[in-house]
Structure 1
Amino acid sequence: MCSHPSLALPLSGTLLNDAIAIVQFPSPEAIDGDPKIVDRHLEAWASGKIGKTACDEQTLCALKRFCEKLKFYIEDYISKATSSFPARAYLDTPSPIPQTRKEHTIQMKDLLSSESERLMTAFIEYELLCKINCFSRSTPRFNFKHLERCGGRTVSPWRAETLQCVFEYIRSLYGALFARSSNAWLPTDCTQLVFPDNVLFGVQQYAEDMDLHPSVSPYMADTLAAFGFDLITSLLDECEGVSSEPRHGRGLFHGLARWLRWTRTCGLSPWLNPLSATPDLSWPDSPALCQRLLQLIPNTTDEEERLSMALVKGGGNRIDENLGTQLHRQMQIYRQRAWVFFDDARLFPESSRPMPCFPTAEEIISAEARAIRQYTGINGARVQHRSRFWHETKMPPYMDPVRTATADEDTWDDKGTPQ
């Protein structure tokens, strides 16, 4: 059996088989030389034979590095998810240096064994799907049936949601780099940002703050997240040590944006949302906390009228986005809180501002109404409050030298053509 006590994560059985399939996945060069090599590799993985054979030293070293990397990201995710101010916590890029870590840190040892297993399973399965998606030439994108080929697994709606949460986490890592590259403000409390930015880390909004082309900014994080942990690790390493120079990351992502447009790689998220706009799922295989939280998600079309009435009672006279967007925000907040992994709420703060850790749809609608009443031009106010330049000078964010320097390098005409 290819396992070892020195591994940072306790892998065995199907998980070990998946992990070895990842670290032994054929390289791009090998695939170019033999297009069928991926199919043979996946057949060996699906048979379950990979994890039952003895490891050579090279594979064991690769497994150690892989487990250390996953443990690092899992601990970063659960630390941010259980923060009292997650919209601020997600602005930080993860650091392997202990002295740079924040005061609120949750480690794997703080988790129950059931919680650790759920997280390891989701992170490993996500990475395996990314490998298949990126390098297999004969398979459709992100087909969950690939996972069902091995170990008798069934990807239930709850299991699919765990993968969606990992996807949201990797998107947030790109969002942190976007924020750094857009010279974003690092708030000390929730009053320094405008709803929903004070409760939900808006990855797309920070991409827009970099002035990326509008055909790219809504989808850039989604597209990059589909490449798994290898790409984000490389980009984090690339940006390490240049945190005081936003132009570096800004130029990097503008270059990536051009590549995504020219290669037509950038598009809609490849992930299917397992929750419809009106979910009526009980998810019997999910942990107790998740089952309780499901009760807070509207599950019939009748809820739409009730939530609309909540907006009216709150004094709102208009809303910039439809109710479906508000429900989507609720799901994003829950995913950033890692809602499907924990047995209970013991690791979450007893109180959080400006709303509970897991707000209801009514609370989100009411907060939107209050923000609309408070600000004239709420979208502009959100952009201002996300800008470090605005907080320090009270001048419009578009005058930020970081933004104007990039604009000189990468401008667009009305048709979206580079100048």
Structure 2
Amino acid sequence: MRLEVLLAVRFKESINSLIRASPTLFRSYVSFKAQILPSLVAADLDDELVQHAVAIVQFPKSMRVGKEHLAAWDNRQLPNPFQGHYPEVFEEINKLHSLILRLMQDYITKATSRFPPREYLCVPNIHAFSADGHSVFRGQKITTMVRTDVLTDNERKRFLKAFLLFELNCKVVKSGLGLRIQPRHGIAYEVPKVLVPLRGDDALRCIHTYVCSLHGAIFAQCGDAWLPEPPNESLVEPGLLFPDSLYLDPNTYMLDLGIPQAHGGELAAEFAKFGLELVFELLGYDISDPQQKESLLVRLEDFWNSYPRLRPRYSHLIVEVSADLADEAPIYYQHNLQLTSPLALQKKIFEQRAWVFFDDARLYPGQCIALHFPSARFLENEPDKMVWFEGWEHNSARIRAFCRSQKWHDNYKKEMDFDT
């Protein structure tokens, strides 16, 4: 009877809540874990998503074998651990599934927050139980994460598919298979592609922007970044200035840490193209521990100095937009009509708000949805506004940098207390 109860649960978060609340169910879970875990993962991954997951966890290092691997993936001929005995493959897929769920929690929490710039400076605590996950800033708990069981089935699949395709795409980018190598005899190699609707292509761009933001948050917490409070009229202290007040630019926080510009200023994308594996490793460091923080900085420096800068940049190699496919919802059309700004900033803001994934606006803060998705006119007028900074000032890069700095805010408070 207890096994039937556990097998009826669809989500890992839900089952974690149950077994933590009931010692009896916990013992049953331990006894029947080999049956329960495959049921939970299979509930999320259909045959298509299983093929994407297997392609990721079994991706070979050899370029020649890589071509054969992608051909098997394209023809859906990779082993399916739910249709045969592949325990090692399932174990890797289960780990990948759990990692993606934790990142989904984090992304949804940040995207639907009332003040995303604050949340985006935090990172997910990957060591906490999925049922009570929370974000952290230099070791301090900040926000309890939104659980993924709030999603509809369609929303859940969009997130899972986008994360899986992003990770597989990163594997292909790193492998160099996308360079269209010209053999001595024959035609250039063409990477197999998944046909997706326009929304599917936008979804991958969202995941890329989100992963870039994780690297930005890691660098911010290693540096002098200030964690702002949500805007409040009673606050005397200056807050973040535009565009930091709307969007976390990961490259800006890397520059604040003293890392030089590279690749046209898109330094975060250089880290993001290494996919979830790298970001998961970096999230494992406790930045609040001085020794671990120092180890992290050494790891980042070694990583940056060890790999060739001219390796392929991130691009969508394994997806192709098909006009014949449609996976739309009214909110997607609504947001798409708003994307009229010639500036890349508007699209980046929308991507940090996970604009393509939801069926409707129910998870977004209801009272400020317009500010959550700013119009092109708003963004074009905002840089020209004067800001209060020890007297009215132009919104300069120097002043914006001060307002991002914890040290500057500490000194500001001391001066205010002294004047009082």
Could you tell me the TM-score, scaled by structure 1's length? Answer: 0.74
- 1:398 is aligned to none
Residue by residue over 1:270-311, the C-alpha shift from the partner in whole angstroms, topping out at 9 and shown as x without a partner, is 359x9xxxxxx999533221101111122xxxxxxxxxxxxx
1:388 maps to: 406
Distance between the aligned counterparts of 1:171 and 1:117, measured in 2? 22
Q: Are positions 1:364 and 2:379 aligned together?
A: yes
Describe the superposition over 1:41-99 as per-residue Cα deviations: whole angstroms up to 9, x where unpaired: 11221111225551421111111111101111111111110000100101001113237
Partner residue of 1:25? 59
**Residue of structure 2 equivalent to 1:119:** 159
Is 2:110 the partner of 1:80? yes
AA in 1 matched with 2:205: Q
What is aligned with 2:44? 10
**CA distance in structure 2 between the aligned counterparts of 1:71 and 1:286, rounded to whole angstroms:** 23
Partner of 1:130: 170
In structure 2, the CA distance between the partners of 1:214 and 1:138, relative to structure 1 (3 Å rule), is: closer
Higher alpha-carbon deviation: 15-24 or 102-111:
102-111
Correspondence for 2:25? none
- CA spacing shift, 1:341–1:265, aligned 2, 3 Å: same
What is the alpha-carbon distance in structure 2 between the residues aligned to residue 208 and residue 115 of structure 1?
35
Q: Check conservation: 1:282, 1:291, Cα contact below 8 A.
A: no
Matched-pair contact (CA < 8 Å) for 1:165–1:335 = yes
Aligned-partner residue type, residue 16 of structure 1: V
Q: CA RMSD in A?
A: 3.1
Change (3 A) 1:284 1:54: closer
1: distance between equivalents of 2:399 and 2:42? 45
Tell me which residue corresponds to 1:270. 315
Q: Unaligned stretches of 5+ in structure 1? A: 275-280, 299-322, 396-419
Q: 1:105 to 1:215 in 2, by over 3 A?
A: closer
Change (3 A) 1:171 1:282: farther
Structure with the higher strand share, 1 or 2? 2
The superposition leaves residues 125-171 of structure 1 with CA deviations (integer Å, 9 ceiling, x where unpaired) of: 11111112212546559xxx8463xxxx4233322111000000000
Q: 1:139 to 1:177 in 2, by over 3 A?
A: same
**C-alpha distance in 2 between matches for 1:227 and 1:379:** 30
Residues 225, 231 of structure 1: CA spacing in aligned structure 2 closer, same or farther, 3 A cutoff?
Answer: same
Taking the TM superposition and a 5 Å limit, the aligned residue runs for 1:124-163 are 124-137=164-177, 139-140=179-180, 146=191, 148=193, 153-163=194-204
Residues 166-209 of structure 1 deviation map (CA, whole Å, 9 limit, x = unaligned): 00000000000110122200111245111110111111110110
CA deviations on 1:16-53 (whole Å, 9 max, x unpaired) are: 11111111222x4xx3xxx4221221122111122555
What code does the residue aligned with 1:329 have?
L
* Greater displacement, 372-381 / 56-65: 372-381
**What is the identity, as a one-letter code, of the residue corresponding to 1:384?**
F
Return the alpha-carbon distance in structure 1 between the equivalents of residues 312 and 324 of structure 2: 32
Asked if residue 338 in structure 1 is aligned to residue 372 in structure 2, the reply is no
What do the CA deviations read for 1:343-365 (whole angstroms, capped 9, x no partner)?
A: 10000001349x61111011112
SS in 2 for 1:36: helix
Q: Distance in 1 between matches of 2:328 and 2:282?
A: 34
Q: How far apart, in 2, do the equivalents of 1:231 and 1:13 lie? A: 27
Stretch moving more, 47-56 or 114-123? 47-56
Q: CA deviation at 1:377?
A: 5.6
Distance 1:6 1:285 in 2: 25
- 3-state SS of paired residue (2:169): helix
Q: Deviations over 1:311-330 (max 9, x none)?
A: xxxxxxxxxxxx74xx3111
Q: Distance in 1 between matches of 2:191 and 2:350?
A: 27
Give the residue type in structure 1 aligned to 2:197: S
Q: Does 1:165 align with 2:180?
A: no
SS in 2 for 1:375: strand
CA distance in 2 between partners of 1:63 and 1:125 (Å): 14
Please state whether the residue corresponding to 1:223 is helix, strand or coil.
Answer: helix
User: What TM-score do the two structures reach when normalised by structure 2?
Assistant: 0.74
Amino acid at match of 1:202: D
Amino acid at match of 1:368: P
The answer on 1:66 being equivalent to 2:126 is no
Indicate yes or no: 2:90 matched with 1:45. no
Write the mapping of 1:219-230 to structure 2, written as runs, cut at 5 A. 219-230=266-277
Query: Does the 8 Å CA contact 1:85/1:352 hold for their aligned counterparts?
Result: no
Distance 1:90 1:130 in 2: 22
Residue 295 in structure 1 maps to residue 295 in structure 2: no
Aligned partners of 2:395 and 2:110: how far apart in 1?
30
